[in-house]
Amino acid sequence: MSLAKFRKNLIELVPIRSLRKKLHYKYGWFPGNFVQPDCNISSIKNLKLGGNVYIGGSRLCCEGGIEIGFNTKIGEGCFFLTSNHNYKSNMRIPFDNKSFLQKISIGNNCWIGIKSIICPGVRIDDGAIVAMGSVVTKSVPKCAIVGGNPAKIIGWRDKNLYDNLVTKGLTYPAKNELPLEWVKINKYKKYLEK
């Protein structure tokens, strides 16, 4: 039996639910989390998952710490970096042997699109969406939709609708819901303007 499975089974024996929840959070396990087998995670002890989290085949460098909130979905090929080199060194170039650690914090109900890069020290607040291929260098406010390199705000979710859905507990996927419903849209996007 693996250490993680042993720890999970041991925590489940604790009779007080609130204490069990704190222990699961501290040791990075909640029921319903799914991490793809090809995901590459360094310093896994610094990774905290909030429950119902999905992480596609991505790379998470957790040396500085990564916290991912409840019901957050992370697409394939994403890269999370929590350390940076000291390029301002007066001893060596291009950088010296010192690394700076900065935590990444992702809120609840966020969606990080495929091939996105999240830089050290970034906080992504609840309900935010990061468009695929984005490079997030600064923190993202609640319900913002960001995209590009570097990522900029390109839209907003309806905050009232978001808060209403969260209050009612209407998250994806719902229990006993079919995996996915496909809706075909026969319309092209507008042309780029000069």
pTM for this prediction: 0.77
Q: What is the pLDDT of residue 44?
A: 87
Beta carbons of 166 and 183 less than 8 angstroms apart: no
- Cβ of 94: how many Cβ atoms within 10 Å? 7
Helix (H) or strand (E) holding 22: helix 17-26
Domain boundaries in the chain? Answer: 1-31, 33-168
Q: Which residues are catalytic?
A: 85
Q: What is the pLDDT of residue 176?
A: 61
Say whether pLDDT at 25 is over 60.
no
Beta carbons of 77 and 56 less than 8 angstroms apart: yes
CATH code matching the domain that covers 33-168, chosen among 3.40.190.10, 2.160.10.10, 3.40.50.920, 3.40.50.300: 2.160.10.10
| First vs last C-alpha separation in the chain | 61
